[in-house]
Amino acid sequence: MGAIIEQRARAIARDVATGARTATEVCQAFLDRIRAEEARVSAFNTVMYERALARAAALDGARQAGGGRPDGPPLLGVPVALKDNMCTAGVPTTASSRILRGFLPPYSATVVQRLEAAGAIVIGKTNLDEFAMGSSTENSALGATRNPWDVSRTPGGSSGGSAAAVASRMVSVALGSDTGGSIRQPAAFCGLVGVKPTYGRVSRYGLLAFASSLDQIGPLAHTAEDAALVLQAIAGHDPLDATSSAEPVPDYLAALDRGVSGLRIGVPRAFVGEGVDAAVQRAFAEALERWRAAGARLVDIELPHARFAIPVYYLIATAEASSNLARYDGVRYGHRTALGREDGLREMYDRTRDEGFGAEVKRRVMLGTYVLSAGYYDAYYLKAQQVRTLLRQDYAHAFAACDVVAMPTTPTPAFKLGEKTDDPIQMYLSDVFTVSANLTGLPAISIPAGLSPDRLPIGVQLTGRMFDEATLFAAAHVLEQ
Ligand code: GLN
């Protein structure tokens, strides 16, 4: 059977269901791996050693009582990690921010409940850029996570802890959240499959909100199949999230083997030409060629407004963040400043937020407040929404000529820790290929597409039509063969 931690999630679930392995044995193997690797990678904010083993024992007990069945729950005994911006009842949920120190959520996010209903074992909460604002995990109040492929480099962000945990096999699969690329970019940097589902596909109930019109939860996994398995478990309507869609969820595993014969892959040549690393260009060209050889047709498309996506994203995301983060005021939960006798409410708010938020979060709250303020609203926020509509139209036109749009996931492979921390604009520019999927709501996947000359993973991205994740999985699977 090979080493447990090397196995695919699907194989683990099958072995646990048939009784070939126990959930306890699986859980122990991954916890041992965490003990060995975590010091090198720093992927976790919390590891739930005892809780995970107790849950594994309970699953084993239930399975013994019910007898071995190969058609057990789809994630039976599969160890998963959650980005630490998803609420877990009674388990610290920090968003890697000082302001949520000591916060114990009274309930679990819908995705957590669904993963557990599918038999998964939550093993830990992973590090992120504070409130998911960043592209490298360096904005975490708890310190940066390192890329397991090269620990002098970033795993990407903001779901860098989830990506590093899966890439170093400390868990089988993980969930991230993606507001502007935070699942796909770390997936690309760590050699994984990462999926940003269609807006509304996955419930956001229990996700600490960053930018509510952009946020989506999705899987990070070693293969398209494992990512499909996880998305299957978490997707679908949730009455607790008013933006979650009632669109039926198809069978993603069944779609995996559909192939790409006749699939029209749109390539926005002009957009992809600028500022992209040579190794990434090469990997992108090779991926396109492999799809073509497998029966896909490449068509040239244009996305005339894609070059405005970064400014549009950083206006809308900061505006929404400034509103969402107003709730962290020291009154209801999390950190509150020490109060002196003379201090009033105003001092309490000011000092709590000053002490609780890091530099990048403050920068965004200020930017967002500015672009929403009277006199600037029309010039910035409204204008950004108008260009967002033009970008949506670009994709609508493109999808008349093609079925998916291909781009690199990132302009470069993983950069060095510290390389972009002094220059927020450079950091923001690394999201150039990912933010459009969030602004349009379209689903997108990052797929491993080989290594750079210095042996760093490179990712290729496909964006699909609304609710057509199935085609993305099928195309990803072709590239994996
Ligand atoms: N890097 C982008 C940002 O800093 C995207 C973050 C995300 O998707 N959460 O906002």
Question: 293-307 pLDDT, tens per residue?
Answer: 999 999 999 999 999
Q: Yes or no: say if 478 and 259 are a contact pair by the CB < 8 Å rule.
A: yes
pLDDT at residue number 426: 87
* Per-residue confidence band for 67, with pLDDT thresholds at 50, 70 and 90: low
* Per-residue confidence band for 425, with pLDDT thresholds at 50, 70 and 90: confident
What ligand 1 atom has the least distance to the C-alpha of 364?
10
Please indicate whether residue 134, judged by its CB atom, sits closer than 6 Å to ligand 1.
yes
* Ligand 1 centre distance from Cα of residue 176 (Å): 12
Structure token pair of residue 398 = 């493109």
Tell me the domain boundaries of the chain: 2-256
Q: Report which protein residue has its CA nearest ligand 1's atom 4.
A: 134
What ligand 1 atom has the least distance to the C-alpha of 177?
9
* Ligand 1 centre distance from Cα of residue 425 (Å): 13
* Ligand 1 centre distance from Cα of residue 37 (Å): 26
Q: Round to whole Å and give the CA distance between 193 and 449.
A: 10
Residue 1 pLDDT exceeds 60: no
Residue 275 pLDDT exceeds 90: no
Mean pLDDT of the chain: 96
What ligand 1 atom has the least distance to the C-alpha of 134?
4
Question: 79-128 pLDDT, tens per residue?
Answer: 999 999 999 999 999 999 999 999 999 999 999 999 999 999 999 999 99
* Ligand 1 centre distance from Cα of residue 77 (Å): 31
For a pocket test of ligand 1, which of 86, 129, 185, 318 has the largest count of ligand atoms closer than 8 A to its C-beta?
Answer: 129
* Ligand 1 centre distance from Cα of residue 120 (Å): 27
- DSSP bridge pairs for 461: 407, 446
pLDDT at residue number 273: 82
Residue 68 pLDDT exceeds 70: no
Q: Round to whole Å and give the CA distance between 427 and 442.
A: 23
Q: Which CATH architecture has domain 2-256?
A: Alpha-Beta Complex (3.90)
Question: 156-185 pLDDT, tens per residue?
Answer: 999 999 999 999 999 999 999 999 999 999
Q: What is the mean pLDDT of residues 433-440?
A: 98
Please indicate whether residue 105, judged by its CB atom, sits closer than 6 Å to ligand 1.
no
172 as an active site residue: the answer is no
140 as an active site residue: the answer is no
162 as an active site residue: the answer is no
Residue 65 pLDDT exceeds 90: no
Residue 64 pLDDT exceeds 90: no
Mean pLDDT lowest among 1-5, 267-271, 384-388? 1-5
Residue 51 pLDDT exceeds 70: yes
Of 108, 182, 203, 322, catalytic: 182
Contacts of 291 (CB under 8 A, 6+ apart): 260, 263, 265, 298, 406, 475, 478, 479
Could you give the percent of the chain with pLDDT greater than 70?
Answer: 99
Mean pLDDT lowest among 196-205, 229-238, 418-427? 418-427
Please indicate whether residue 441, judged by its CB atom, sits closer than 6 Å to ligand 1.
no
Q: Round to whole Å and give the CA distance between 284 and 393.
A: 25
* Ligand 1 centre distance from Cα of residue 444 (Å): 15
Residue 16 pLDDT exceeds 90: yes
pLDDT at residue number 70: 66
Please indicate whether residue 360, judged by its CB atom, sits closer than 6 Å to ligand 1.
no
